[in-house]
Structure 1
């Protein structure tokens, strides 16, 4: 993973009011932690930072330039406004080239399992140790043609050279099971509704069936309901 170059600015204003002013200027307040130093407060350009995070994923590596120096930093926590989807705040961890870091990387599935199977992802991320400048964006698992009973453990993952697995090797990542039938899905739905205290309304078909049974004539021509 290559570092995304970002021009940052030192930040001397703090508090909610200052943060709002920073965001109105299309910038993002951020803090850099690590290496036993005091936290460094900076502002980052909003658009460029958003693109860098989109490209680098959850473990985006940034090369920050400010005050005439550069600093490699790994994304640790990103706060996003849930409505406007704008960056609110970013926590970063200072790193050095060649330094080993511990990160969680996502698991991506590739291919289609055998017909009438259900692919269950038991764990969507794994923890690894890798060089800060060579963090894999994800680890890929092929499930092409996988039959019922296929299980992929963490130990089965193929990681890039220089990356070590930290997750328990016996951790189940993917499990291929029988796809449920329509009857089984309906039974599970009814059970869940019963546990939640939800009562189903009669369907149109049931209602019509009930109505057709009302007022049936007897043998002598009189209505059964009379």
Structure 2
């Protein structure tokens, strides 16, 4: 059976991000911030009311380009106290592609969160060697775990996967405290026959009279004499009545 394992999901270093309070809202303030080298942002959470802040775009982009990317846990000073947050959303200018706004959500190290983790395959499937095609249904997996257990990626070894075989969620071997939010039977990766082979099989199965054609012909060969006998029997019956 093919197995999947997460990469190292041990406690990762917490990133630091400098933020400043933003007391005035509106487009005018946003433009002023961008001219000064910052962008508007907001931080919120279960125990944190939506708080307007400003951040340096370069620092945010460096976090997004880091190993964990958007799943990085970040330490910030917000609303007079130190808190842990993660990037929930961000937007770029449609033309210049400059970072324009960032949303941060508060997280707790002892509370599970939902994140998306990249799924990669390793090895060459037996079914592919025999002419099949590897089909990866999911490129990322919806995962639930604590912030300090977020894996960088999930890898699945497909080497022993045969033609028409598949790997489902229940076959994943995940680190403790990490779960995938998909049905146990959900197919993640499979090896299928080439399109032309499948088309030929489907066409053959869908052909009119394809199923049971030979038995029908044989039965028809025997049915003819029976029909003849039945036809001859009818006048005899009528004759008896007379």
TM-score under structure 1 normalisation?
0.71
Higher helix share: 2
What stretches of structure 1 move > 6 A for 4+ residues in a row?
Answer: none
* 2:43 alignment partner, one of 32, 36, 46: 32
The residue that corresponds to 1:23 in the other structure is 34
Whole-angstrom distance in 2 between the partners of 1:167 and 1:129: 10
- Higher RCO structure (Cα 8 Å, ≥6 apart): 2
Whole-angstrom distance in 1 between the partners of 2:148 and 2:83: 12
3-state SS of the aligned residue for 2:23? coil
Work out which of the two has the higher radius of gyration on C-alpha atoms and give 1 or 2: 2
The residue that corresponds to 1:7 in the other structure is 18
The residue that corresponds to 1:104 in the other structure is 116
TM-aligned CA distance change 1:5 to 1:147, over 3 Å: same
The residue that corresponds to 2:56 in the other structure is 45
Structure 1 residue 95 displacement after superposition: 1.3
Q: Size of the alignment, in residue pairs?
A: 183
Structure 1 residue 131 displacement after superposition: 0.8
Whole-angstrom distance in 2 between the partners of 1:30 and 1:128: 26
Whole-angstrom distance in 2 between the partners of 1:26 and 1:133: 31
TM-aligned CA distance change 1:36 to 1:70, over 3 Å: closer
Provide the alpha-carbon RMSD of the alignment: 2.4
TM-score under structure 2 normalisation?
0.67
Q: Structure 2, unaligned stretches of length 5 or more? A: 1-11, 200-242
Structure 1 residue 44 displacement after superposition: 1.3
Q: Structure 1, unaligned stretches of length 5 or more? A: 185-226
Whole-angstrom distance in 2 between the partners of 1:111 and 1:28: 44
Q: What are the Cα deviations for residues 27-81 of structure 1, in whole angstroms up to 9, with x where unaligned?
A: 2321111124320111111111111111122322211135763210022112233
